[in-house]
Amino acid sequence: MTVDLVTALPEVVRGPLESGVLGRALEEDTATVRVHDLRASAEDPQDQIDDYPFGGGGGMVLKPGPLVRCLEALEDKHGVPDDVIYLTPDGERFTQKSANQLSRKEYIVLVTGRYKGIDERVRRRWITREVSIGDYVLSGGELPALVLIDALVRLQPGALGDARSALTDSFQDDLLGAPVYTRPASFRGMDVPEVLRSGDHERIRRWRFDESVRRTRARRPDLLDESEKLDEEAPSSAPDGDKTA
Ligand code: SAM
């Protein structure tokens, strides 16, 4: 997967793109992320990338010219992207399901806003999808773009040391993940559940599934409601309750 990220503040994204699972995956070419400074698409160095909003009111708006020049230059160089995604609080809510779906795209462009956002005409004509990472407002789209990139890149084949790990994460199968433990087996009077040390893979699988369901019922019953609704809508589909598969 290739991601072109358009931003007015490239320095905000550089560190996270070089660290952890994401940094390693990009270094090993499991995915490619190219960062583009919006200011480089201004007509001249004095050209502002933002301007006052028509109709007055506080805040500035990112001008259409530099942004569209940047998007057109990307298309000339790399072809038509599968999606041009604008990160915005009023977009569709980003979920693990959208991450799974987007992770299968070959080439996407992410557009990040600043100030009051980007000119509406760019949204109408050049943006194909709008995504929000939650019901709150950040000062720029760089952190939301990094959230998307991290969620998508870790799903690329080869990104995680053990690919099964992603399958047992929360929200896959509409369930939260089961509790995890590591050594020592006893820590300050608290023991790791015996079943996890039993070596009995079938018991461990069942225990993890039961814990996932218990935790989901306690913390996010809405997820169970959703999957029950889906089961009712599609009675012929086989339920896949095994998060350890
Ligand atoms: N005026 C906009 C509104 O009311 O929806 C908010 C603009 S916000 C201050 C500046 C930029 O941050 C946005 O253009 C967007 O790119 C990004 N942003 C802020 N919160 C976001 C969120 N929850 N999800 C995705 N992007 C967000």
Weakest-pLDDT range from 57-66, 77-86, 164-173: 164-173
Alpha carbon distance 7, 139 (integer Å)? 13
Q: Is 87 in the pocket of ligand 1 (CB under 6 A)?
A: yes
Residues 132-165: pLDDT tens digits?
Answer: 999 999 999 999 999 999 999 999 999 988 877 8
Please tell me if the CB atom of residue 138 comes closer than 6 angstroms to any atom of ligand 1.
yes
Cβ-in-10-Å burial (0-12, 13-18, 19+) of 234 comes to exposed
Average pLDDT rounded to a whole number, residues 62-90: 98
Q: Does the predicted model carry a pTM greater than 0.85? A: yes
Cα of 65 vs centre of ligand 1, distance in Å, is: 20
Q: Which two tokens stand for residue 127?
A: 């943006």
What does the mean pLDDT of the chain come to? Answer: 92
Q: Which CA distances in Å does 222 have to 70, 99, 100, 110, 116? A: 41, 19, 20, 30, 33
**Atom number, ligand 1, closest to the C-alpha of residue 94:** 24
**Is the CB of residue 5 below 6 angstroms from any atom belonging to ligand 1?**
no
Question: Residue 245 pLDDT more than 50?
Answer: no
